[in-house]
Structure 1
Amino acid sequence: MTHVPLSHALPVYLRIGLLSFGGPAGQIALMHEELVTRRGWVAAPAFQRGLNVAMLLPGPEAQQLATWLGWRVHGLWGGIAAGLAFILPGTALMIVLAWIAATQADSGPIAAIFYGIQPAVLVIVARAMVALSGRSLQGARSWALAIAAFVALSGFGLSFPLVVLLAALIGFVLPPVPQPDIPPTAPARAATGRLIAVSILGVAMVYGIVRFTLGTTPFDGVAELFLSAAFVSFGGAYALLPYVAEQAVEVHGWLTPEQMLNGLAIAEATPGPLILVNVYAGYFAGHSAGTSGVVTACLACFYTFAPSFMLILAAAPHVESIQRRRWIRQALAGVSAAVVGVVANLALYLGRAALWPDPAHGPDWIKLALLVIFAGIAWRLKPSVPMLIGTGALVGLLLHLAGVI
């Protein structure tokens, strides 16, 4: 592997961060094109090994893969730089758009744009659920796990972390993939231990400084929600969003279900991982409490991604070993199946908020009609996510100008 100075590579990593639209599939393809095909900094088999481990760990797989690729080429600081370059452009844009959503949402054109994109986002969530089911539901037991997860969340109100834990435990009974274990060497284990210790200390220091200088409300809630979410975010942002929405909307009251749906739409249409919706929710945590939304958004970003950086950098020396651990693969098989039910619950939650906002007055028939139209467009034309959201925004604006909404 050719040595590449980090100063030369950083513009490439920033380019990836700025162009990383379209969800993890498109983002991973962009990284492969830039770092494997065009520049040859990472060999294709190594790229695939890093991706396999990123998909096993909790956290956004595209961000973790970007971090691992930076580590592979430059070492620890390269991993941190590549990961930050991937998330910071989208984070900055998300904070600006969250400010607009929080302060300008009552203006006619802005409200109309959000009105139009909400049905489009419901179609995107449904499309993601179909794609996940095709990959994860391979037998009767995986289907049963998905249905059980949906019923547990929507029918019995179990928490998302508990559902993930139960799915992982049940996953042990699924057929394992027999592969030999490769134990890590002692030096790598020691380095991993130091990295984890320093990461935990860093998070604790940030938490303590914020608590001492800014107080507890809403900062304790931001830390509690996004740190806990970071460690159970298997299956991507769609799987995690019901938990974040439940806590941010129902428990803390930072924003409404419709505002949460708008945040998902913004995250879909901006570069970076979809989990940046946490930054949007974090902004509203500060805004609703009368404090700085920018500060709480930045804290939400830190608490969301610090564990992700820690996990992938700690796992980096053990890539071969981790992906061959039979118990990890069995547990993740259970979680992957349950995630389909979790995303179905998300579709139900967001659909109820968008299409039937007031139970006393019946459904919003215009949004229902838009949902059917956008579903037909998605089925027949298969547009990209930003294109579908842009179409929804344009339709909403045209309906407003026509006096329909």
Structure 2
Amino acid sequence: MTRRPYPTVTEAAMVWARIAALSFGGPAGQIAIMHRILVEEKRWLGDGRFLHALNFCMLLPGPEAQQLATYIGWLMHGVRGALLAGLLFILPGLLAIMALSWVYAVWGDVGIVGGLFFGLKAAVLAIVLQAVVRVGQRALKTRALQMIAAGSFLAIFVCSAPFPLIVATAALIGWAGARAGIAGFQPGSGLGPGHAAQVEDAQTLLGADAGHLTGAQRAAALRAGTFALLLWLAPVVALMLLAPDSVFTDIATFFSRLAVLTFGGAYAVLAWVAQEAVGSYGWLQPGEMLDGLGMAETTPGPLIMVLQFVGFMGALREAGWAMPLLAGTAGGLLATWVTFAPCFAWIFLGAPFMEGLRANRGLAAALASVTAAVVGVILNLGLWFALHVIWREVTDMAVGPVVIDLPVLASVNLPAAALSTFALLAVFRLRWGMAAVLGASAGLGMALHLAGLV
């Protein structure tokens, strides 16, 4: 592939702004858009280099599409390029989710807006279940990985095991399996980020040799990474010291833990968020969690931006401020800050050592096992959504230490069941795109409201 001239910062900014505006469809769609524009259209890097960068980002906690943009921005223009690409990637979603959070808080339970979100819930349920199928087809290539997926599902659905424990256990199993030479855990048996043979141009992007960076380049990246860590942790520590019982401290510490442990993408994280934000903290109701995910699905930017909505609603209700919308805004921005500031730190601190990370076979097997576990976690999320969308009441069934959520069958919500069936058929049978499913479901939800059925 012929290499194009080195882009200026202004040219790169225009391209990153365009990518940000088109970044609908979750990480898979966002990565596809970046590939189309950066590789096929602009030809600023080749397929192998793009895959090389993506594999590195898959090793990191956090939203891989945003981190991929940040990393490529760093390769092109250093620290300022990384900040430009990474911040532009999240800015449209940040503004859109904040605006929708205000609309939801003021008018969410009123009239046509309630009908719109009623329809979005059914669409989100179908999209989550589609994610289970797609990720499962790619990730569960061996019997060992299939067993990890099944075990993770049972751990979270039956035993309510914490998401970090599931991730850590899966990673340890994968690493140990690779060290022991078990076939199902060996690179080349369908595992994640290997593919080293495809990286034909891994050290030719724009004259930046990722394997032989200068001392100044490494030092600049490490300084930026350290500064990003300080920017992330400083407000968290300040809140812990000055307002230890505040909802803002809870938001800062909870979402900081998520930032460290969010392997597997947004859908996997949402299972933990639903478990804690709904069950433990009481910031939202189950249906509101679905509404927030519907907002994130219909706006550009990382799907994980739904956490801004969670922080907004938590502070709105718990801060006790005379101006609750102002409290919600502060809570939403705080959640966004502690979610994305670490992403820049991981890129700056890890990018100079990218080659060594990719060559570690044990790490590759650990990541593949985490991805398999995530399939089980997403399946749990889909069932959790289905229970709270289709039925109005859910009860607990306890058998010894095991507690299982079961629907109260007589409480079935027939309009919700019908709309969910439509969304599932549209996704799996008619193969509609995400935008079409979301738009049609939202329209039908508003129509049901106007008809007096919801």
Normalised TM-score (structure 1): 0.94
The amino acid that maps onto 1:241 is L
Q: Distance in 1 between matches of 2:153 and 2:244?
A: 38
Deviation, 1:220, is 0.9
274-283 vs 27-36, which moves further: 27-36
Query: In the alignment, what sits opposite 1:338?
Result: 373
Q: Classify 1:400/1:209 alpha carbon distance in 2 versus 1 (closer, same or farther; 3 Å).
A: same
**Residues 24-103 of structure 1 correspond to what in structure 2 (within 5 A)?**
24-103=27-106
Do structure 1's residue 327 and structure 2's residue 362 form an aligned pair?
yes
Deviation, 1:222, is 0.8
Q: Deviations over 1:164-216 (max 9, x none)?
A: 00010011215222889x99889477666544432222222222455678775
- Do 1:112 and 1:397's aligned partners in 2 also have CA atoms closer than 8 Å? yes
Do structure 1's residue 201 and structure 2's residue 204 form an aligned pair?
no
Query: In the alignment, what sits opposite 2:271?
Result: 242
Larger radius of gyration: 2
Moved over 6 A (4+): 182-186, 212-215
Q: SS in structure 1 opposite 2:104? A: helix
Q: Distance in 2 between matches of 1:184 and 1:210?
A: 41
Q: Distance in 1 between matches of 2:444 and 2:328?
A: 30
Do structure 1's residue 349 and structure 2's residue 384 form an aligned pair?
yes
Q: Deviations over 1:198-246 (max 9, x none)?
A: 2222222222455678775111111111111111111110011011111
Do structure 1's residue 17 and structure 2's residue 20 form an aligned pair?
yes
Do structure 1's residue 166 and structure 2's residue 169 form an aligned pair?
yes
The amino acid that maps onto 1:315 is G
Query: In the alignment, what sits opposite 1:255?
Result: 284
- Do 1:49 and 1:319's aligned partners in 2 also have CA atoms closer than 8 Å? no
Q: Classify 1:5/1:214 alpha carbon distance in 2 versus 1 (closer, same or farther; 3 Å).
A: farther
Quote the RMSD (CA, aligned, Å). 2.2
- Do 2:145 and 2:369's aligned partners in 1 also have CA atoms closer than 8 Å? yes
Q: SS in structure 2 opposite 1:75? A: helix
Q: Deviations over 1:309-339 (max 9, x none)?
A: 1112222223322222112101111101111
Deviation, 1:348, is 1.5
- Do 1:90 and 1:276's aligned partners in 2 also have CA atoms closer than 8 Å? yes
Q: SS in structure 1 opposite 2:348? A: helix
Deviation, 1:97, is 0.6
80-89 vs 35-44, which moves further: 35-44
Give 1:177's match in structure 2, choosing from 174, 178, 187. 187
Do structure 1's residue 152 and structure 2's residue 155 form an aligned pair?
yes
Give 2:295's match in structure 1, choosing from 266, 272, 282. 266
**Residues 136-147 of structure 1 correspond to what in structure 2 (within 5 A)?**
136-147=139-150
- Do 1:28 and 1:62's aligned partners in 2 also have CA atoms closer than 8 Å? yes
Q: SS in structure 2 opposite 1:404? A: coil
Q: SS in structure 2 opposite 1:231? A: helix
Q: Deviations over 1:340-363 (max 9, x none)?
A: 100011011111111123246522
Q: Which has the higher helix share?
A: 1
- Do 2:16 and 2:89's aligned partners in 1 also have CA atoms closer than 8 Å? yes
51-60 vs 32-41, which moves further: 32-41
Give 1:387's match in structure 2, choosing from 425, 430, 436. 436
Q: Distance in 1 between matches of 2:256 and 2:249?
A: 11
- Do 2:226 and 2:345's aligned partners in 1 also have CA atoms closer than 8 Å? no
Deviation, 1:271, is 0.3
Q: Deviations over 1:21-75 (max 9, x none)?
A: 1111221121122222222222332212111111221111110111011111111
Q: Deviations over 1:237-258 (max 9, x none)?
A: 0011011111111111111110
- Do 2:62 and 2:260's aligned partners in 1 also have CA atoms closer than 8 Å? yes
Q: Distance in 1 between matches of 2:221 and 2:88?
A: 23
42-51 vs 158-167, which moves further: 42-51
203-212 vs 159-168, which moves further: 203-212
Q: Distance in 2 between matches of 1:100 and 1:213?
A: 31
Q: Deviations over 1:88-133 (max 9, x none)?
A: 1111100111111122111021111111121111111000000011
Do structure 1's residue 399 and structure 2's residue 448 form an aligned pair?
yes
- Do 2:19 and 2:33's aligned partners in 1 also have CA atoms closer than 8 Å? yes
Q: SS in structure 1 opposite 2:441? A: helix
124-133 vs 380-389, which moves further: 380-389
- Do 1:267 and 1:274's aligned partners in 2 also have CA atoms closer than 8 Å? yes
Query: In the alignment, what sits opposite 1:365?
Result: 414
Percent of matched pairs sharing the same residue: 38
Do structure 1's residue 296 and structure 2's residue 325 form an aligned pair?
no
Normalised TM-score (structure 2): 0.84
Give 1:217's match in structure 2, choosing from 241, 246, 257. 246
The amino acid that maps onto 2:53 is G
Mark the runs of 5 or more structure 1 residues left unpaired by the alignment.
none
- Do 1:4 and 1:74's aligned partners in 2 also have CA atoms closer than 8 Å? no
Q: Distance in 1 between matches of 2:262 and 2:244?
A: 28
Query: In the alignment, what sits opposite 1:228?
Result: 257
The amino acid that maps onto 2:52 is R
The amino acid that maps onto 2:434 is V
Query: In the alignment, what sits opposite 1:113?
Result: 116
The amino acid that maps onto 2:91 is L
